[in-house]
Chains A and B, each alone.
Chain A
Amino acid sequence: MSGARRRPYWLLALGLGACVTGDYSRVSFNEPVDAAALRSLAPGQDDLTSVLAKLGAPVDVREYRVNADRTSGMALVYSWREEYGWGLDISMPVSGEASARLELDFGGTDLPGCVVWFDEDLVLERWREGLVGDLLSKRRRPAPVLDGQ
């Protein structure tokens, strides 16, 4: 094959760079909790102090099982994110005034984590691992700030 015939392939590759782009990316957010520490948690024995010492500070804290006298338990939420993904971005001019763009993201979006529930006396009631969205109820009641009542 002559050099003159090869030249268009280089031009084509350069041209594709403007409209077809592949990518490989990772997004990480925080670190997973220590699995051994999580498995060492003993419902009925561990309390808020020991859980905080073993797992560190949670990402979120939720009110849990509020009683009529306004005592309540709480749920600590630990979550993290580690997503790897391939992506493909295709864009092309359709007309002089418009262009089309297609972006494919092959990464997941669920957030893995664990939730630790405490009773009113802040004794560990249970813990679960999984996707945080599946472990928690979706709603949280509005809360007054420092009402002191």
Chain B
Amino acid sequence: MKITRFVTLCLTAALASCSIARQDVNEPLDAVRIQELQPGSTTAKQVVELLGGPNEVVQLGKRTAYRYDSDTTKSALLFMVVFNLANQDTRQDRLWVFFDDKDVLTHYGATFGSHRTQYALPWEDVHDAAENADADARRPGVVR
């Protein structure tokens, strides 16, 4: 009977499986290249030549703003017989550039997060400051 129970347990355990998946939307933003932007002198044309076409253009009265972004999603799933665990972590690189009515850059703001995305289980901390700092240090241009 013990052998039967052991074999059954092994078979049941074997039914569990795991899966990881990664999905990227757009190329990660180039943090080094973004540092070339010069408020007061860079034009909209130069921004597009440098970074390509934006994902969105927003009209703000006489001003305009362009949005550039990139997403990375990492998913981890553990399938068991009657209970599943899943975690999905998505983060973005985002850049907003603001132009005046003459299409000259006035402001820009950037956030780089796609490299911080993690495969994790649902109870793990994916926003740990030390891990974020390590990831930032490995990405050129993010830490100034």
Binding site for B on A (CB under 8 A): 3, 10, 13-14, 16-17, 20-32, 48-49, 52-53, 55-59, 61-63, 66-67, 70-74, 84, 120, 122, 143-148
A146 near B57: Cβ-Cβ < 8 Å: yes
A21: chain B residues at CB < 8 Å are: 82-84
A23 near B88: Cβ-Cβ < 8 Å: no
Binding site for A on B (CB under 8 A): 1, 4, 8, 12, 15, 44, 57-65, 67, 81-92, 94-96, 98, 101, 103, 107-111, 113, 116, 122-123, 126-127
Closest residue on chain B to residue A27 by CB atoms: B88
Alpha-carbon distance A59/B109, docked complex (angstroms): 11
Alpha-carbon distance A48/B65, docked complex (angstroms): 13
Nearest CB of chain A from residue B119's CB, rounded to whole Å: 12
A25 near B85: Cβ-Cβ < 8 Å: yes
B126: chain A residues at CB < 8 Å are: 28
23 residue pairs bridging A and B, Cβ less than 8 Å apart: A13-B82, A14-B81, A16-B81, A24-B83, A24-B85, A27-B88, A27-B90, A28-B89, A30-B91, A31-B113, A32-B127, A48-B107, A53-B109, A56-B110, A58-B94, A61-B65, A62-B58, A72-B61, A73-B61, A84-B122, A143-B57, A146-B57, A146-B64
Nearest CB of chain A from residue B102's CB, rounded to whole Å: 9
A144: chain B residues at CB < 8 Å are: 59
A63: chain B residues at CB < 8 Å are: 58-61
- Supplied contacts A16-B82, A56-B111, A61-B67, 18 more A-B pairs, CB within 8 Å: A16-B81, A20-B82, A21-B82, A22-B82, A24-B83, A24-B84, A25-B85, A26-B88, A28-B88, A31-B127, A48-B98, A49-B107, A52-B109, A57-B96, A62-B58, A74-B65, A84-B122, A145-B64
A48: chain B residues at CB < 8 Å are: 98, 107
A143 near B109: Cβ-Cβ < 8 Å: no
Closest residue on chain A to residue B68 by CB atoms: A57
B84 near A57: Cβ-Cβ < 8 Å: no
Nearest CB of chain B from residue A76's CB, rounded to whole Å: 8
